[in-house]
Structure 1
Amino acid sequence: MKKVIVLLGLFCAACNLSAQTKLNQEIALKLSRMPLHCIPSEFPNKTSHLSDSVADARLLPSELHPVFYGCLDWHSSVHGHWMLVRLLQEYPQLPNRDSIIAVLDNSFQRDKMEREASYFGKYTASNTYERTYGWAWLLKLDEALASGKDPVFQKWHQSMQPLTQKIISLWKAYLPKQTYPNRTGVHPNTAFGLAFAYDWAKQQGDTAFLHQISTKAKEFYFGNSDMPAYLEPDGSDFFSPSLMAADLMKRVLDKKAFNTWFEQYYKTRSIDRLCAMPVVSDRSDYQTVHLDGLSFSRAWCMRSISSQLSDRNPYKVRFKTASDAFLNATLPQIFNGGYGGEHWLASFAIYALLETP
């Protein structure tokens, strides 16, 4: 308990600063311990595996997934790995650097990644496993490794290519068949997945995939207007469906086209609702604590969108101000809800603080 109080005190002190302030090494160290703890923790676990038989129904999480078996579920393990990679890149002198490298080096073994890749297509429903939330974070992890200058990142990047290429092939096959977007505020949200896929394709110079993504994004969202965001959020949302779509369109449209599109996208009462702080009534509840994640994802979307809005748009400043408020209010809560938040929320916080303008 004393340790938790000390950690909260450090977070509260940090969060009294402007949310524009980058993470410092002390806070990065505190955050890094969360995925460092949960990546090798097999239980509690939610496998989401659809069994074909008694034989595979009896497999342990680590038998199904030799790398991404911890942190409660596959996708949380993936973005826990991403978070540790990004913290190593930002803070190469972290005091627990050796522990982080040991955990990551154990994960980024080519034979393990080949076994991870083989899972997709091995069972009846496994081709759709983690579509597209886990796929998106896997590409974000690959993107981070590809950009790393330290040889260890390049080694790890090469090791995970069997899995990366498997996900890319599945996504390219799926996109032409995806008739409608998923506008949920949780894992299957289409706009979130396409945004991360766009970033990966742009970095890798995969013009065919970029074209696929841009075409679908415009098909799904270009004609949207007067979005009813005043109805958001649902009770377990960690995404704003409308903001995620806008964050995607910010990528695929040039600045002038995006500003024209955005002028028709929201009415004032929707903006008011989006800028209101989500109420998290019980952080020990694994679903309700999702709403802390909503604060972080709203923050990164609002920052991203704000950077593309023209100076005369009043929402440019309002979104930036709201983003800071979400971060300031929610950062201290990361250690305040038990494993239901601890196994994933820090990744959302790091993305909001490091990856958006």
Structure 2
Amino acid sequence: MRTESFLLWGRKLYSTLAFLLLLNLSVNAQYHPGDHLRMDEDGKLLLTQTGASHFAALALSCLQQEYPNKPGQTLSGKDELKEPHVLHPAFYGCYDWHSSVHGHWMLVRLLKQFPDLPEASEIRRTLEQNLTAKNIAAEVDYFKKESKSWERMYGWAWLLKLADELFTWNDPDARQWYKHLEPLTNAIVERYLRFLPVQTYPVRTGVHPNTAFGMSFAWDYANTTDHRVLKSMIEKRAKDYYLLDEGCPTEYEPSGEDFLSPCLEEANLMRKVLPKKLFSKWFRRFLPKSKMARFNTPANVSD
């Protein structure tokens, strides 16, 4: 019971913090918490349609804005130096590739939850323009040429989350976009299947390369689409990496650049891959009660 309660609390806490962080990105917007959020009878924080419009505006403002841009590209010759929209015709906006990908995911998620959004037509138009078969083919081609570590695993994970969201949307446009995205989805899955067997140690940082985060979204995709090979690989490597862990050092959190909790990301992944009884036993060792108090104090952002 303690295990389930803590994970529920942890998910609420971190989803809330992430939500508030995203709101702060819109520094010029008029933000009124009562308009954007509501709390249900169980204390769960929910987005209102006004809040959904706020987030939709954030993504729509940058998904087709090319600059500023951080390509993260390794150049092997001057011929490879091209503008972002040429290299990434689907995902060139919002500063970098993974931010563009999860901006697309956010629009899909918002429109699924709020089909009558005032921005619905603009969202569909943007997705239709970006997620074409031709654009995705160019994205696949880039992955074939770029280094094996490019966007590993953070960008990979968000691409599979976008595919997951489209797969579960009963909408004719979504089915077409999912079909267009599928070659890139398959390329990312192949990268997971090649990389995980040779990654000896997990990355436990609280930023982009966190292994547990990357595996968690991939598990969701594999579970949704019944991709048994990927699911089996993630289950095996999660156990290899984390099953013997105990006493996660919560006193080291947060680090100065963290936007993820290494301890909670690991616990969230193991919650998914382990049977309930085994997870409860593992969790009691991994995060004993003495370690949990650290999570009761929100991080202080001083600048």
Taking structure 1 as the reference length, the TM-score comes to 0.74
2:36–2:52 CA contact under 8 A, matched in 1: no
- Could you list the runs of 5+ residues in structure 1 that have no partner in the other structure? 283-357
- Does 1:45 find its partner at 2:69? yes
In structure 2, the CA distance between the partners of 1:98 and 1:14, relative to structure 1 (3 Å rule), is closer
Distance 2:239 2:249 in 1: 19
In structure 2, the CA distance between the partners of 1:17 and 1:244, relative to structure 1 (3 Å rule), is same
Aligned with 1:67 (options 71, 74, 90): 90
Superposed, 1:238-257 pairs within 5 Å as 238-257=259-278
Deviation at 1:13, TM superposition (A): 5.2
- Does 1:100 find its partner at 2:100? no
- Does 1:79 find its partner at 2:102? yes
Deviation at 1:121, TM superposition (A): 2.3
Q: Give the match for residue 152 of structure 1.
A: 173
Distance 2:302 2:264 in 1: 23
Distance 1:115 1:5 in 2: 35
In structure 2, the CA distance between the partners of 1:4 and 1:59, relative to structure 1 (3 Å rule), is closer
Deviation at 1:12, TM superposition (A): 4.8
Distance 1:40 1:101 in 2: 13
Superposed, 1:43-192 pairs within 5 Å as 43-56=67-80, 58-123=81-146, 125=147, 127-192=148-213
1:117–1:166 CA contact under 8 A, matched in 2: yes
2:36–2:50 CA contact under 8 A, matched in 1: no
2:245–2:286 CA contact under 8 A, matched in 1: yes
Paired amino acid for 1:227: C
Distance 1:273 1:12 in 2: 29
Deviation at 1:20, TM superposition (A): 1.1
- Does 1:25 find its partner at 2:46? no
Paired amino acid for 1:231: Y
Aligned with 1:8 (options 20, 31, 47): 31
Distance 1:6 1:35 in 2: 14
Deviation at 1:14, TM superposition (A): 4.5
Distance 1:115 1:103 in 2: 18
2:38–2:45 CA contact under 8 A, matched in 1: no
Indicate the structure whose relative CO is greater, using CA pairs within 8 Å and at least 6 residues apart. Answer: 1
Distance 2:165 2:271 in 1: 21
The superposition leaves residues 62-84 of structure 1 with CA deviations (integer Å, 9 ceiling, x where unpaired) of: 12111111111100100000000
- Does 1:199 find its partner at 2:223? no
- Does 1:220 find its partner at 2:267? no
Distance 1:36 1:154 in 2: 21
The superposition leaves residues 270-315 of structure 1 with CA deviations (integer Å, 9 ceiling, x where unpaired) of: 3122221111222xxxxxxxxxxxxxxxxxxxxxxxxxxxxxxxxx
In structure 2, the CA distance between the partners of 1:162 and 1:271, relative to structure 1 (3 Å rule), is same
The superposition leaves residues 230-274 of structure 1 with CA deviations (integer Å, 9 ceiling, x where unpaired) of: 111111111011110000000011111111111111244531222
Distance 2:28 2:225 in 1: 44
Distance 1:258 1:129 in 2: 32
In structure 2, the CA distance between the partners of 1:54 and 1:81, relative to structure 1 (3 Å rule), is same
CA RMSD of aligned residues (A): 1.7
1:230–1:271 CA contact under 8 A, matched in 2: no
Deviation at 1:5, TM superposition (A): 7.6
SS of the equivalent of 2:61 reads helix
Mean alpha-carbon deviation: is it higher for 17-26 or for 192-201?
17-26
In structure 2, the CA distance between the partners of 1:4 and 1:207, relative to structure 1 (3 Å rule), is closer
In structure 2, the CA distance between the partners of 1:253 and 1:49, relative to structure 1 (3 Å rule), is same
Equivalenced residues, count: 276
Distance 1:245 1:12 in 2: 33
Paired amino acid for 1:98: S
SS of the equivalent of 2:144 reads coil
Percent of matched pairs sharing the same residue: 40
Distance 2:170 2:248 in 1: 42
Distance 2:300 2:45 in 1: 25
Paired amino acid for 1:55: D
2:160–2:185 CA contact under 8 A, matched in 1: yes
1:67–1:107 CA contact under 8 A, matched in 2: yes
